Amino acid sequence: MPSGTETPLGPDTPTGMEVHDYLKQHERKGILRFLTCGSVDDGKSTLIGRLLHDSELIYEDQLDAIRRDSKTTGTQRGGVDLALLVDGLQAEREQGITIDVAYRYFSTAKRKFIIADTPGHEQYTRNMATGASRSDVAVILIDARNGVLPQTRRHSFIARLLGIRHLIAAVNKMDEVDYAERVFDEIRNDFLDFASRLAVDELQFIPISALHGDNVVHPSDNMPWYRGATLMHLLETIQVAVDKDAERFRLPVQFVNRPDAAFRGYSGTIIGGTIRPGDPVAVLPSGRSSTVARIVTMDGDLDEAVAPMAVSLTLADELDVSRGDVIAAPRELPHTAERFDADLVWMSEDDLVLGRTYIVKQGTRRVTGRVQAVRFRVDVDTLGHEPASTLRLNEIGRGEVVLTEPVVFESYGTNRSLGSLILVDRITNATVGAGMVLPPGGAVHGAAWDEAPHGDLHAAVSRVESGEREARLGQRPVTVLLTGLAKSGKTAVAHAVERKLFDAGHLATVLDGQSFRLGMSRDLGFTSRERSENVRRAAETARLMNDAGLICLTAFVAPEEAVRERAREAIGGDRFLEVYLTAPLEVLKERDEYGLYDAAEEGEANVPGVNADFEEPESPDLVLATDSLTVDACADEVVALLRRKHHIP
């Protein structure tokens, strides 16, 4: 155990290793941000204290202080109350609860961690949302004595709403129920029934006792019936996908740096992508273009900068750039609008008032705006959608936000920094709501994307976990959307990929647009709304196939970017790849044995690329020029993509 004066290198430091070498090794470790959440008194703070204690990451003087404080403010009847390590507020210690979000940092031999310990009380739900907004994994504590409570469901739903797709359900206080496997199984089945509607990528269950350390860092001798990993092992090995927007350059301007008349720099933190001097950029919302002249920092100019570095950019041209503008790569621009839909978490004791003017903070911009309409409120017990005209404290719903001027944004699922907002009361200056922006077009193309199911419906829960399927099939499920104009070769390439995967021992299936319209979508035509609904049905089908462990190859024109993004969100970003097949229009017409393009030119058919719009994908995972590549070569490229993304060995 390190003393109060030692350098906290931790137990993973090899004997005799030079500090410099250790620090170099330390820098190469990845960081996992996770939060603990759940209902009140489920043991969140005690769990974090136990993680640090059993990993030998608490200083001796800290432990001595906790022993002393345990005698006066602890809850363990003379024992050491490890919750005091993170319950730092006086009010927290007096009541034995967590009020504010407490952050703790620690490191093991495999990873660095940032923990957000969030409060369980319903009145502090806003604090839990704050902790979840920057986390990759949620550890949801469930008291074995009480089972799944409404606040457990609320926190789980908020975690998923805020983009967390990896959940660990830790059934705590197993010592209070005599470590009974029956109790664990009942809670597991109850939570599975609820979580099946959350569309998470990974859900793990662990029976633990944070008080005694069972299955936290070390395996438990008290629960021989549990053969899974400890919590620490899961945290060290869980794989979190990189944000989809990581390769798109984005820099929200925080301030214009003018130390003298000779220098004008635009300062901010890069929230995505890479930038170099000479790179072309666009400034939004004006849309003006320029190139990067210099990348300036306190330590001198850089040849390259990446997220999340704080830099000042100078541009080759004199442009009007202000705080709140966004400098972005010109071919991958975010959206600009003054009206959009957002999922809202209401944080004020005063109800949301439709039409009332609030201050809206989004990115680095501060504007005024209002919630024009509430489309629905979410019942956190059933996840059903209820009609609503307002939102009350801790309620969650979807609203239409209207601003007084355009802002630059992405959907929250694409970029958390540009996809989040907060609403502030103009009189009290208190934060009253938080929002997660939805992609444009979600409500435009018909209500089916957002429409709640009829009745009190519940999805059946599989007793086979995703990890078991992956181990059995030797593959990670994914949906590959092959998009492009008619006759670009989407279906032919999809079937060629299916053949190659099958020959290699993998299981894949094909959904192509024409076959889909012969059955599932035989009632649909070819209007923009009906095309959107066709893609929605395909996305839901593909998601079910992914849940079964299959690789799903989908071949659809899907002409609108917003609809393709909704499909990505429905399936899950970690399970979605986009492949754009392209060829000159003349080549496509030559391949058209059915006269589809001729009919479009004569006004007898509605065909994207001729008499209807086709929006090229903004950032596909792969582009295939089918006028120069054979079908077999295209299939090889798709298989190689699956390997690079680790969906097949």
Q: Which residue has the higher pLDDT, 284 or 104?
A: 284
* Residue 214 scores a pLDDT above 80: yes
* Residue 455 scores a pLDDT above 60: no
Q: Which pLDDT tens digit goes with each residue over 470-483?
A: 889 999 999 999 99
Q: Which pLDDT tens digit goes with each residue over 219-275?
A: 999 999 999 999 999 999 888 755 444 568 999 999 999 888 889 999 999 998 899
Q: Which pLDDT tens digit goes with each residue over 350-401?
A: 999 999 999 999 988 999 999 998 988 888 777 778 888 899 988 889 999 9
% of the chain surpassing 70 pLDDT: 82
Query: What mean pLDDT comes out for the span 147-160?
Result: 86
Query: What mean pLDDT comes out for the span 631-643?
Result: 96
pLDDT of residue 119: 65
Report the number of secondary-structure helices (H) and strands (E) in the chain. 17, 28
CB 43 within 8 A of CB 172: yes
d(CA 624, CA 532): 24
Q: How many CA atoms lie within 13 A of 331 on its CB side?
A: 9
- Closest to 5 (Cα-Cα) out of 60, 49, 53: 60
Band the pLDDT of 18: cuts 50, 70, 90: low
pLDDT of residue 368: 96
Q: How far is CA 467 from CA 204, 422, 547, in A?
A: 9, 37, 11
Q: Where are the beta strands (DSSP E) in 270-409?
A: 274-275, 280-284, 288-297, 300-301, 305-306, 310-315, 326-328, 335-346, 358-362, 365-378, 385-386, 396-409
d(CA 218, CA 525): 59
* Residue 333 scores a pLDDT above 90: no
* Residue 11 scores a pLDDT above 60: no
Of 101-115, 170-184, 529-543, 601-615, which one has max mean pLDDT?
170-184
SS3 35: strand
Phi, psi at 644, each rounded to 5°:
-60, -35
d(CA 628, CA 619): 21
pTM: 0.60
% of the chain surpassing 90 pLDDT: 43
pLDDT of residue 604: 66
- From the number of C-beta atoms within 10 Å of its C-beta (0-12, 13-18, 19+), residue 473 rates as middle
Q: Which pLDDT tens digit goes with each residue over 611-623?
A: 878 889 988 999 9
Residue 285, preceding bond cis, omega within 30 degrees?
yes
